[in-house]
Copies of this chain bind each other. A is one copy, B any other.
Amino acid sequence: MTATLIDGNAVAAAIHGEICAEVEELKTKYGIVPGLATVLVGTNPASQFYVRSKQKKCGEVGIRSFGYDLPETATQEEVEGLVRELGANPEVHGILVQLPLPRHLDEKRVLSAVPIEKDVDGFHPVNIGELGMKGREPKFVPCTPAGCIELLDRYNIEIAGKEAVVLGRSNIVGLPVSMLLLKRDATVTICHSRSHDLPGICRRADILIAAVGRPRMVKTDWVKPGAAIIDVGINRVDDPTAKQGYRIVGDVDFEEVKEVAGYLTPVPGGVGPMTIAMLLKNTLTAAKRAAGLIP
């Protein structure tokens, strides 16, 4: 193994510590308790797991969490009504609608009901626009992209002037992380399922962000020796030796690529914990902003 392991758990733990201290200060100095509301519709096991993890972490850092679980059959009006109610509740500083929503619901309309000052996921088009635009700053940076950059920063990996390649162009990872890298002065290439010669394109990267949702797609010959690789993938693959019959792997073939890369995040334990850490940070920011402590 030549790659330095980027330890997302350790970085996330450090950030939790920082948030904890700030939350405590907010309570004692101003009597404010940051609050995060989660809205979960239906019984998707992965969604349930994510929401529970977020609530648990909120508890650990002193953020109050408000959990709303609606049945699979909830109507558009019910979901939007709840989101609007939470939007008006001054104890709720951040609102997280767990995606994906059941098919009969209009996701765009539900998300539009989240007031922009409580959009701690950072998915509002205004946030995405301001993320990309020079001279503008979004209210919130989407959590997973922010987590990727934070990992690079905490390991002192230079971004400015480097070739960054983003594999995948989703609204929640690929697109916003590309914009963050561009704002940090990287040369940014965005590639995807329609690109020709993905291995050749990825091999140009000093920094490679893999966010395509294909298990172990990135092989050794996709990687420039010494590159920093952030693996955003969370894929379930069959594994008869595991207790549940499956295990979680990333978009990068970790065993192969660790021999070539300079830095590499594991899955699990890389980007995953960072996403939650950034969500908590955004919630704290929302609470401070609501109190007029920051602009």
Contact flags A46-68 to B (C-beta < 8 A → 1, else 0): 00000000000000000000000
Inter-chain CA distance A196–B163, complex, in Å, is 8
Tell me the interface secondary structure of chain A in the complex: mixed
A5 within 8 A of B: no
A91 within 8 A of B: no
Give the segment of A9-17, A169-177, A232-240 that binds chain B: A169-177
Among residues 188 to 218 in chain A, which have CB atoms less than 8 Å away from a CB atom of chain B?
Answer: 188-192, 194-196, 201
A136 within 8 A of B: yes
Q: Which residues of B contact A133 (CB under 8 A)?
A: 125, 128, 171, 175
Among residues 125 to 184 in chain A, which have CB atoms less than 8 Å away from a CB atom of chain B?
Answer: 125-136, 160-161, 163, 169-171, 175, 179, 182
Interface size class of A (residues with CB under 8 A): 20 to 34
Among residues 233 to 265 in chain A, which have CB atoms less than 8 Å away from a CB atom of chain B?
Answer: none
Inter-chain CA distance A108–B134, complex, in Å, is 12
A78 within 8 A of B: no
Residue of B nearest to A170 (CB): B134
Inter-chain CA distance A195–B182, complex, in Å, is 10
A124 within 8 A of B: yes
Known: A160-B194, A161-B195. A132 touches B134 (CB 8 A): no
Known: A125-B129, A128-B129. A195 touches B190 (CB 8 A): no
A126 contacts which of B108, B129, B161, B191 (Cβ < 8 Å)? B129
Q: Which residues of B contact A171 (CB under 8 A)?
A: 133-135
Q: List 20 A-B contacts (CB under 8 A).
A: A108-B136, A125-B126, A125-B136, A128-B133, A129-B131, A129-B132, A132-B132, A132-B175, A133-B171, A133-B175, A134-B171, A134-B175, A161-B194, A163-B196, A175-B182, A187-B190, A187-B191, A187-B194, A188-B189, A188-B190
Can you name 16 extra interface pairs (CB under 8 A) apart from A161-B194, A182-B190? A108-B135, A125-B125, A125-B129, A127-B129, A128-B129, A129-B129, A129-B132, A132-B179, A133-B175, A135-B171, A160-B194, A185-B194, A187-B192, A187-B201, A188-B189, A189-B189
